[in-house]
Amino acid sequence: MLSTGEPRSASDIVKVTGLSDYAVWDALYYWWKKGRLVRSEKPVFEGIEVFKGRGGVKKTTRAFYLYALKPENKDSIHWKGHNFVSFSEEYLDSRGGKKVSKAKKILDFIKENSDRAFFSNEIVKAMSESKIKAGDIMSTVRRYERLVYVRGYRTDQRQTPFKEGYILTWIDKQKPRDSALEEAIQKTNKILENRSATNPIVERIHIIRDAIIESTKLRDLLSSSYLQNKIGCSENELDHALERTLQLYPDLKEVKLFNAYRYYYHSSLTGEDLQAVMKMKENYIRIIKGRDNRVGHNWEAIPEWFIDISTTGAKFWTQKHRTENMDSRRITLHLLKPVGGRRNNAEADRIWEVTPGIFAQPITYVLECKWGLIQKRYVDDFFEVLRWSKEFGTDTPDGRQVKQGVLGVFSGSAFNPKESVKLKDETEISLATYAARMNIQLLKASDFNEKLHERGVQNGITVQRICKTAKNEKEVRQILEALWNDPEKGEEILSKVAERNVAVYEFEKMLENDASAR
């Protein structure tokens, strides 16, 4: 068959000659080793369809080698993109039994360490010298499930891996099957100590129950936002987990403060203690969720809008957050070192990039907004966040510094004019000069008001007033857009917005009055 000069596979030769698979494979290997044949250096892959009876036709991939007669005075040939080589140990296929296969190495490793269990990722690291991949491990253990016990998250429909992969351990064939499986489960339990071995929803339910009971023992209520941060899940996932938790454990209770904010407690909390902690939480909500909180968030939209319309080619960063209420232009930065009580993350109010020219490197601006009187410590804190963030900081021979091409912008409603900064040489400089030395630009409310008045907006209308009138950041942008396009109708525009938001102002006033009475 090979005398025609066209390379053939073993299966082709079996079909034509009627010889057995073993006879053909043995002969091809024999003559390849004797130097009469050359074989394709790498296997050829071919998609085929295999009839599986009632299972129908299944598509799969077949890997095979091609063989050809070796030309005189040549050790290799090239045919249709394939290199054909003479016999060498390095070209042996481990599946043929001439080398130790990856599967055997994996099974030997698990068997030799049969006294313990491993995550699949641990085996990958331990066998890195053998070039073992995670896919090699799982494809092997799936074929030898009677020898290796595989454990992952279990749901009603399927089993999924843990973060570190599936847990694997050896099943002792010398013992009865039931006791061998029980022993394997115990080994996997050891590796799962202090963590859940069930599916994610059950894990969340356990975390929620434990956290609520712990909070109740401390005579406190637990908020839904605290649980979401603790679990690290989406708002929908938390809602589903809370619903199932309250169904399974009737002793856990929910209470809504101001008919909006959800808190949870255990029924062991006495009525008197419950009323006391509810009053404490209501006061906390008044402080956090009141007028100042709304105005502070609205202030972030002011510099963003002016930057957007005045900066050519500005591209703002966006990020998807767990809650829809959080603006997508607020960006979470990752800290390499805690800064001002923030351990792992810090928020940047806005980040945008500007490319000055086609041959110039882009400049990245990071915005920090602060409502109220700005002091030096706020500017220092902002600089430390930039310096120690993974995104904008870098290590230099002189210590940690902000990367080249990154500029900080600090926007405050007002800066303390009396505050000065004393340097090491005892000289004093203004806060603005101090910020400039750190490559931080300061923007004030008066800067934005000047732009509005230059446009023709009445002097009585200011960005501070816009922040106090608007319901949220989206409405701030709408007001500024309307003022910019029709500056003479400023009072009319703000009056309509104020009428629309009467309910917001009344709710905030109710909170303030209630807090004063207490």
pLDDT at residue 499 tops 60: yes
Res 212: pLDDT: 92
Res 515: pLDDT: 46
**338 shares a domain with 413:** yes
What mean pLDDT is predicted for residues 393-417?
A: 86
- Listed residues 80, 96, 112: the one ending a domain: 96
- Burial class of residue 47 (count of CB atoms within 10 Å of its CB; 0-12, 13-18, 19+): exposed
**117 shares a domain with 14:** no
Res 366: pLDDT: 93
Segments forming the whole domain that contains residue 137: 102-191
Q: Cα–Cα distance between 37 and 86 in angstroms, integer? A: 7
**483 shares a domain with 389:** yes
Res 364: pLDDT: 93
Q: Cα–Cα distance between 477 and 460 in angstroms, integer? A: 19
**358 shares a domain with 446:** yes
**152 shares a domain with 24:** no
**418 shares a domain with 340:** yes
Closest of 311, 425, 406 to residue 368, by C-alpha: 406
Do the domain assignments include residue 504? yes
What mean pLDDT is predicted for residues 157-172?
A: 80
Number of domains within the chain: 4
What mean pLDDT is predicted for residues 418-432?
A: 79
What mean pLDDT is predicted for residues 14-38?
A: 87
- Burial class of residue 344 (count of CB atoms within 10 Å of its CB; 0-12, 13-18, 19+): exposed
- Listed residues 50, 67, 96: the one ending a domain: 96
**307 shares a domain with 258:** no
Do the domain assignments include residue 314? yes
Tell me: the pLDDT tens digits for 37-61? 988 888 887 777 766 555 566 666 6
Phi, psi of 437 (to 5 degrees): -65, -25
Query: 406-415 and 363-374: which strand pairing?
Result: parallel
**473 shares a domain with 357:** yes
**461 shares a domain with 418:** yes
pLDDT band, residue 325 (cuts 50/70/90): low
pLDDT band, residue 462 (cuts 50/70/90): very high
* Residue 481 contacts residue 466 (beta carbons within 8 Å): no
SS3 label, residue 186: helix
Element (H, E) at 407: strand 406-415
What's the chain's average pLDDT? Answer: 83
Greater confidence, 349 or 290?
349
Res 93: pLDDT: 61
SS3 label, residue 94: helix
**384 shares a domain with 247:** no
**274 shares a domain with 258:** yes
Tell me: the pLDDT tens digits for 71-120? 887 878 888 888 888 888 767 765 554 556 788 888 889 999 999 899 98
**227 shares a domain with 119:** no
pLDDT band, residue 517 (cuts 50/70/90): very low
Res 79: pLDDT: 80
Tell me: the pLDDT tens digits for 331-388? 899 999 888 767 788 888 889 998 877 777 889 999 998 887 778 888 888 999 999 9
Amino acid at 85: V
Do the domain assignments include residue 115? yes
CA 474 centroid distance within chain: 27
Do the domain assignments include residue 426? yes
Tell me: the pLDDT tens digits for 430-447? 887 888 888 888 888 889
Do the domain assignments include residue 232? yes
Res 516: pLDDT: 44
Here the CATH number for the domain that contains residue 450 is: 3.40.1350
Q: Cα–Cα distance between 182 and 196 in angstroms, integer? A: 19
Here the CATH number for the domain that contains residue 247 is: 1.10.10
Element (H, E) at 352: strand 350-354
- Listed residues 264, 287, 310: the one ending a domain: 287
pLDDT at residue 489 tops 80: yes
Do the domain assignments include residue 517? no
pTM for the whole structure: 0.45
In the 8-state DSSP scheme, what is residue 95? G
Do the domain assignments include residue 270? yes
Alpha helices in 249-353 (DSSP H): 271-288, 291-310
Amino acid at 175: K
Do the domain assignments include residue 516? no
